[in-house]
Amino acid sequence: MADDEDLLLLAEDLRAAVGGFVRRIRPFATIPPGQASVLGYLDRTGALSIAELARLDEVRHQSMTRTVNLLADRELVVVGPVDTDRRKVAVTITDRGRRQLAEQRHTRASVIAEALRSRLDEQELAIVSRIPGILGKIPG
């Protein structure tokens, strides 16, 4: 087993590599990151309140309200009353929002797939295929 110093160096290398990867993929985004994050939550979980979205994204309620309003202006989400409590509102992704999110995901995945195809050999591809499962274990 590696000692603490080796693990710290590995952690720093991993942080830098993942950060660089994200920065290289970011230009292919068609939806701003904060808005894409909200659409992703809604796509995976269904309708959520603004407070729940703010908690998930670790932002203030006012910031999330602004993000939700921008998405609503683009007709990517709808905001409406909760059936069980008309005083509360729920944010729901629209079909248009789902399509735009799927298009962005597809575009970014295509860019990554092309890079994998053109830059990695079979052995490297076998290693990379294990990375999502491994990253799913950390942190936590």
What is the band of 113 on the pLDDT scale with cuts at 50, 70, 90? very high
Which pLDDT score, from 0 to 100, does residue 27 have? 92
Residue type, 26: R
CA distance 25 to 133: 20
| Dihedral over alpha carbons 66, 71, 77, 82 (to 10 degrees) | 10
pLDDT, tens digit (0-9, with 9 covering 90-100), for 89-107: 899 999 999 999 999 999 9
Furthest-apart CA atoms within the chain: distance in Å: 57
Residue, of 88 and 128, whose pLDDT is higher: 128
Contact (Cβ atoms closer than 8 angstroms) between residue 51 and residue 80: no
Neighbours of 125 (CB within 10 A): 12
Residue 132 has pLDDT above 80, yes or no: yes
DSSP 27: G
Residue 140 has pLDDT above 70, yes or no: no
Residue 86 has pLDDT above 90, yes or no: no
What is the band of 85 on the pLDDT scale with cuts at 50, 70, 90? confident
Residue 1 has pLDDT above 80, yes or no: no
Residue 84 has pLDDT above 80, yes or no: no
3-class secondary structure for 80-137? EEECCEEEEEEEEECHHHHHHHHHHHHHHHHHHHHHHHHHCCHHHHHHHCCHHHHHCC
Residue, of 50 and 84, whose pLDDT is higher: 50
Integer angstrom CA distances of residue 14 from 9, 10, 56, 135: 9, 6, 24, 10
Sign of CA dihedral 54, 57, 62, 64: negative
Domains of the chain: 30-135 (1.10.10.10)
pLDDT, tens digit (0-9, with 9 covering 90-100), for 17-68: 999 999 999 999 999 999 999 999 999 999 999 999 999 999 999 999 999 9
